[in-house]
Structure formats: structure tokens, C-alpha cells
């Protein structure tokens, strides 16, 4: 694979950035040699660190480890120029560097340090220089099939990058991370699939892992055009979408329902969404998800459902439809009053913000609604 690296940046000299093409995935690199030259200059390096990282760097002894630590942060500073974040926004959950939103990964090895950033999907990156001892340890982390089918640097890089992307302590590389092909890996804990990209930089092997597919949920109050928009966007991108389970369920069982019916519908909706995600390559749309059932239960019974509240929202991005369409009567709709629809819209916003879920508002009449949704995706930098 060939990447078009940007020219050396004047603000962060020596750092180069490239877009990979997976809905907004960016990587940055800097050679360790270049970083060592910078490190030897008299400058204020705090601009390339979060406060926590700067304090750690100052305690390190001068040498390769300290230089590599600096280089990885310089690379991260470069890649974050493609985001709304800065290096000072970095903080730690345990030993894992994170941002409030979006995903990052750092690595250094051989002659390079690298960073990766994606606004919505978990990403991991690994850089490995040539090392003879790899053949001695690879069977500890790889199956016999993996060792037969793939080169050792790819196996190791894939396992390492998936481990970083998954962010789950104690993952068993051999049993829980499977390299299924040169472009795909699977983590059995959580049943998540990762797209792989691997390439050489000089003698170093680089492997990226990005969780797939991107799951976009179309949500909002009743009669706000969710189903039409979800189907239209899926057709636009030649991909699949889930339908609203509640319609099928109530058509089969009748319009009268109890709390246990709502819980059953929520579970079926989540199951349908998960099954579609596991069978799709890059992008799927959901016509509503568990968020709708949380609000539906709350409004219907005056209390939240502990079971539905405990089920995670799996969408990576939410397109929140505004209640600016004329009410369309439907036997399954219960809230024709404009005040109720507006209140439900605000509840959707509150839930999404509480869950720290990225979302964009969608408004407009007719075909303009779909165009506005596409513009929102373009503004987020995640169009295919």
C-alpha cells in the first residue's frame, strides 16, 4: 500500500501525516533520528506533551527510551491537527492514552515513531523493527494456522494493534485475537472485527487495526423521518440497514403491549443490529436502536427500565432527526402533540450527551433532509 504523506509541517517539523481512507483515519510518523535532533535543540518541548506526559518525560534519563517517548508525542501532535483536539487534551485511563472523544494509538520501533487517530472507531498501531527473537516467541501468541499462512511481523503487528484498539486488559493474544487474513482480524472478547492495514517503512513493519464496521444510528422522536432517511442513506452508500423491530413485533402481536413486550423488542433490536454489524464490511445504518426503547419505556411507564438502561448503546455516530416534519398519523404512533415530540427530541439529546455519543442534528423537508444528513457526515470527515 502506498500513502501520500503530507509535506513536512512548519509547526511540527519532521512530522508527516497521511489519510488512510477508512472514514477519517489518519496516521502520522517521525523518524527517531529526526526526533533525537529536535531533542538536542534548546526549545520548549511542553507544547508536544499533555501535562502528565511532560512531567514523565522530564524524569527520564537522556537516551533512546526518552527520545522514543518524545517522538511518539510529536507524531500525535501532528495527527491531531486533523481533529478538533490538541496534545494537551490527552489523559490516561490506567496506562492507556485517551481523548474525551475519538480514538488514538501510539507506537515506536525500529527507526520510526507513529500515531493514529480516528474520530469514531477504535484504532491500534504497531511499528516493529527487524528482530531475530520474534521467531522464538511467535508461537506463544499465534496458532499453527496463523504461523503457516502469515509472515511473523504481520502476525505480531496485527495482534499488538488489535490489543491496543480493543483496550481490554488481559486479552489472550493466542486464544482471543485471531488473524483471519492479511486484511482482517477478530477479537472473540466482545465479538469485534478489525480491518488491518500493513506496510513497510524502510526495514520496519507497520500494522494498523481499525474496528469495523462504522455503525450509524438514525434516531429521533416519532414521525421525524427516521425510517425513510435510514433506507435512503443505506442505498446511497450501497450498504445495509436494520429495520425498526417494533413495527414487525406489534404487527404480529397486536398494538396492546406490556413492559415485558418493550423489553423483548429492545433485545430483538439489539440482536438484529449486532448480527448485521458482524456480517457487514465497512458501514451499516440502524433505523433506531436501544435509545428509542429507553425513552419509550420512560414515557410510557413513568420510570426507566433497568434492563434496557443496562444494555449498551452500540452506535458510533447518531443522526438525530429534528421534529420539523408534519405529523403523519399511524396506528403505532402515540404522541401527535408537538410539545411531546419536542420533549422527546430533547430527551434524545440528553441521553446522547450523557453517554458521550457523537451526534449530528438532521433537519429539512423532502430530499433536503437526506442532503443535510450527507453534509453532516462530510463535516465530520467520515464519508467513504
Q: What is the pLDDT of residues 230-286, one digit of tens each?
A: 999 999 999 999 999 998 898 888 888 999 999 999 999 999 999 999 888 899 999
User: Which one, of 278, 149, 271, lies nearest residue 211 by Cα?
Assistant: 278
β-bridge partners, 106: 115
CA angle 344, 345, 351 (to 5 degrees): 85
pLDDT at residue 11 in the model:
57
> pLDDT-based confidence at 10, cuts 50/70/90?
very low
- Containing 113, the helix (H) or strand (E) segment is strand 112-118
d(CA 130, CA 201): 11
Question: CATH says 214-379 is which class?
Answer: alpha beta
Q: Which residue has the cell 485471531?
A: 178
Domain boundaries, the chain: 16-212, 214-379
Asked if 115 and 20 count as a contact pair (C-beta separation under 8 A), the reply is no
Residue bearing the bigger pLDDT, 147 or 45: 147
- Which of the 8 DSSP states describes residue 3? -
d(CA 127, CA 215): 28
> Is the bond preceding residue 278 a cis peptide, omega within 30 degrees?
no
d(CA 284, CA 384): 12
Span of 33-47, 63-77, 205-219 with lowest mean pLDDT: 33-47
d(CA 75, CA 34): 11
pLDDT digits (tens, 9 = 90+) for 295-317: 999 999 999 999 999 999 999 99
pLDDT of 8 higher than 60: no
pLDDT at residue 227 in the model:
94
pLDDT at residue 292 in the model:
94
Question: CATH says 16-212 is which class?
Answer: alpha beta
Label residues 187-212 b or e (16+ Cβ within 10 Å = b): beeeebbbbbbbeebeebbbbbbbbb
64-79 vs 32-39: helix crossing angle, rounded to 10: 100
pLDDT of 13 higher than 70: no
Neighbours of 298 (CB within 10 A): 17
CA angle 64, 65, 68 (to 5 degrees): 85
pLDDT at residue 254 in the model:
85
Q: Find the mean pLDDT for residues 178-205.
A: 95
Asked if 60 and 67 count as a contact pair (C-beta separation under 8 A), the reply is no
pLDDT of 177 higher than 50: yes
Residue bearing the bigger pLDDT, 202 or 125: 125
Name the pTM for this structure: 0.91
pLDDT of 384 higher than 70: no
d(CA 66, CA 7): 26
pLDDT above 70 covers a percentage of the chain that reads: 96
User: Which one, of 9, 197, 214, lies nearest residue 105 by Cα?
Assistant: 197
- Which of the 8 DSSP states describes residue 45? G
pLDDT at residue 325 in the model:
87
pLDDT of 101 higher than 70: yes
Q: How far is CA 283 from the centre of its chain?
A: 12
Span of 99-113, 121-135, 320-334 with lowest mean pLDDT: 320-334
d(CA 263, CA 258): 9
CA angle 341, 346, 347 (to 5 degrees): 95
Amino acid at each position: 500500500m502506498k500513502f501520500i504523506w503530507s509535506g513536512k509541517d512548519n509547526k511540527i517539523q519532521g512530522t508527516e501525516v497521511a489519510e488512510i481512507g477508512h472514514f477519517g483515519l489518519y496516521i502520522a510518523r517521525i523518524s527517531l533520528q529526526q526526533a533525537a535532533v529536535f531533542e538536542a535543540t534548546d526549545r520548549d518541548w511542553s507544547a508536544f506533551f499533555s501535562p502528565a506526559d511532560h512531567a514523565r518525560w522530564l524524569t527520564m534519563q537522556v537516551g533512546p527510551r526518552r527520545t522514543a517517548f518524545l517522538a511518539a508525542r510529536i507524531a500525535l501532535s501532528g495527527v491531531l491537527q486533523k481533529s478538533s483536539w490538541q496534545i494537551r487534551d490527552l489523559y490516561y485511563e490506567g496506562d492507556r492514552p485517551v481523548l474525551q472523544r475519538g480514538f488514538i494509538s501510539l507506537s515506536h520501533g525500529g527507526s520510526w515513531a507513529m500515531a493514529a487517530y480516528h474520530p469514531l472507531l477504535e484504532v491500534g498501531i504497531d511499528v516493529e523493527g527487524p528482530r531475530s527473537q520474534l521467531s522464538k516467541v511467535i508461537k506463544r501468541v499465534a496458532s499453527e494456522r496463523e504461523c503457516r499462512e502469515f509472515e511473523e511481523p504481520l502476525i505480531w503487528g496485527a495482534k499488538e494493534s488489535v490489543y491496543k484498539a480493543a483496550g481490554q486488559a488481559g486479552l489472550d493474544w493466542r486464544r482471543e485475537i485471531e488473524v483471519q487474513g492479511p486484511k482482517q482480524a477478530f477479537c472473540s472478547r466482545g465479538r469485534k472485527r478489525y480491518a488491518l492495514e500493513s506496510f513497510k517503512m524502510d526495514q520496519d513493519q507497520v500494522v494498523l487495526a481499525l474496528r469495523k464496521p462504522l455503525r450509524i444510528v438514525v434516531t429521533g422522536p416519532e414521525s421525524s423521518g427516521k425510517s425513510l432517511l435510514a433506507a435512503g442513506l443505506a442505498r446511497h452508500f450501497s450498504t445495509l440497514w436494520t429495520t425498526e423491530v417494533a413495527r414487525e413485533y406489534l404487527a404480529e402481536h397486536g398494538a396492546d403491549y406490556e413492559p415485558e413486550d418493550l423489553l423483548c423488542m429492545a433485545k430483538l433490536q439489539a440482536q438484529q443490529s449486532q448480527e448485521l454489524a458482524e456480517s457487514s464490511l465497512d458501514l451499516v445504518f440502524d433505523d433506531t436502536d436501544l435509545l428509542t426503547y429507553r425513552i419509550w419505556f420512560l414515557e410510557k411507564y413513568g420510570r426507566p427500565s433497568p434492563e434496557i438502561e443496562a444494555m449498551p448503546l452500540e452506535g458510533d455516530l447518531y443522526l438525530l432527526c429534528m421534529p420539523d416534519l408534519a405529523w403523519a398519523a399511524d396506528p403505532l404512533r402515540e404522541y401527535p402533540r408537538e410539545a411531546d415530540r419536542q420533549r422527546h427530541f430533547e430527551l434524545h439529546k440528553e441521553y446522547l450527551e450523557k453517554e458521550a455519543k457523537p451526534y449530528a442534528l438532521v433537519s429539512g423537508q423532502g430530499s433536503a433532509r437526506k442532503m443535510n444528513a450527507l453534509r453532516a457526515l462530510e463535516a465530520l470527515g467520515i464519508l467513504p
